[in-house]
Structure 1
Amino acid sequence: MTDETAGYADFEFERRFLVRSLPDALRDTPALIVQSYYLSDGGYALRVRCQASGVDAGLGPESDAQDVLRRHAGAVDFAAVTVKGPSAGGTRYEAEREIDPRVGVELVRRGGAQVLKTRYAAWLGADGWSVDVFGGANSPLVVAECERSGPVVELQIPDFCVTELTDDRRFSNESLALDPYSGWSAAFAQELARTGPRFRQDFGPNTTIPSG
């Protein structure tokens, strides 16, 4: 870690975007993620995440987080407890501590409001991207994010990104755990049709790049 980034150790810097359809060519090396939020209030959150690398659980709108976790508990190879603060300008306090996967599985099984998704990773343009395809009550939501060790400026945005969600608390995972996308997706579609897509310009010039 450099002196410049040392002060950023407990912060995350990311920009997030709505995706309508993820190209099949990018659906490689999936990771199943099941996570519980034990606190979600005003942008503050306490989360336990379980992740199973290489697992495609075939998530859909009928998928149940507890059932999926039960079937794939043995494949969980990463778990962590994370404390988060409110997001502002694509910057958010985040302190994460890795824990034993077996403990993580039991914590997620025993409580919290849960989110279920498959994460895909891809290198697009100058950055690595994560694309989350949600299951259960948040299906068919797809969100792409670019995270860096410092502010995400002058970003090359893949052409599959429809509009920017950075700092839109409705799309934070802790909000989705309590108020799933399926309950307000139609209203958001009307909102987007009325306002049009938005891409923030206060992080320096954006450029659009092809995704395939």
Structure 2
Amino acid sequence: MAIEIERKFLVNTNLLPQLENGKKLTQGYIWNESNKSLRIRITDTKSFLTIKSGNNPLCRSEFEYEIPMTDAKELLRLCDTKIEKTRYLIPIENHTWEIDIFEGKNQGLIIAEIELSSEKESFFLPKWINKEVSQESKYLNVELIKHPFTEWREG
């Protein structure tokens, strides 16, 4: 079984380095329950079907398979709503940070993610990291589909 260990952070955009070579991602969910989901993701040149399960936002089972682009486009049509974002990669020491700049109903949200080999693995925290939100499920893409960032109320 594949386990994804991922930590998520909000970003101080004033301290971010110049971002280059971003990849546009579009994704939707065929099914989306509290502890499992089936996602379709399309990038510029590849497409994937991903199954995720588990209740811990920090550590979940993940099974990801590349699928033909024509299949992915057809499956994405089955999704009521979609997430669109541009992903930038920033290598730092032994890790690669993924910076996701969301669009559409999640515009204004910028998340930095880092994948780790264990929950206790140490890593360098760049100065542009603002706040960790790994345990806040509202920042999961599967939740952003249901409750987009632009509809959040402060307080």
Query: Would you call these one fold, judging by a TM-score over 0.5?
Result: yes
Give the 4+ runs in structure 1 shifted more than 4 A. none
Deviation at 1:43, TM superposition (A): 3.1
Partners of 2:77 and 2:52 lie apart in 1 by 21
- Relative to its length, the structure with more strand (as a share) is 2
Summarize deviations over 1:31-82 as a string: whole Å, max 9, x none. Answer: 1000011222213211000011xxxxxxxxxxxxxxxxxxxxxxxx111111
Name the SS for the 2:26 alignment partner: strand
Structure 2: runs of 5 or more not aligned: none
Percent of aligned pairs sharing the same letter: 27
Q: Deviations over 1:82-123 (max 9, x none)?
A: 111124272111111110012112211332431110000011
The equivalent of 2:32 in structure 1 is 40
1:114 corresponds in structure 2 to 82
Q: TM-score w.r.t. structure 1 length?
A: 0.67
Of 5, 25, 32, which aligns to 1:13?
Answer: 5
Shift of 1:24: 4.8
Alignment match, 1:51: 43
Q: How far 1:30 moved relative to its partner?
A: 0.7
Contact 2:57/2:137 (8 A) holds in 1: no
Using the alignment, how far apart are the partners of 2:120 and 2:144 within structure 1?
24
The 3-state SS of whatever aligns with 1:174 is helix
Give a deviation string over 1:155-179, Cα, whole Å, max 9, x none: 2111111111112110000100111
Equivalent position to 1:28, from 20, 34, 50 = 20
CA root-mean-square deviation: 1.8
- Give the letter aligned to residue 71 of structure 2: V
Which of 178, 191, 197 aligns to 2:146? It is 178
Please show how residues 1-212 of structure 1 align to structure 2 within 5 Å.
9-21=1-13, 23-25=16-18, 27-52=19-44, 77-88=45-56, 90-151=58-119, 153-184=121-152, 186-187=153-154, 190=155
Cα distance in 2 for partners of 1:152, 1:117 equals: 29
Bigger drift between 137-146 and 14-23 goes to 14-23
What TM-score results when the alignment is normalised by the length of structure 2? 0.90
The residue type equivalent to 1:123 in the other structure is P
Alpha-carbon contact 1:120-1:130 (below 8 Å) kept? yes
3-state SS of the aligned residue for 1:116?
strand
The separation in 2 between residues aligned to 1:152 and 1:87, in whole angstroms, is 18
Unaligned runs of 5+ in 1: 1-8, 53-76, 191-212
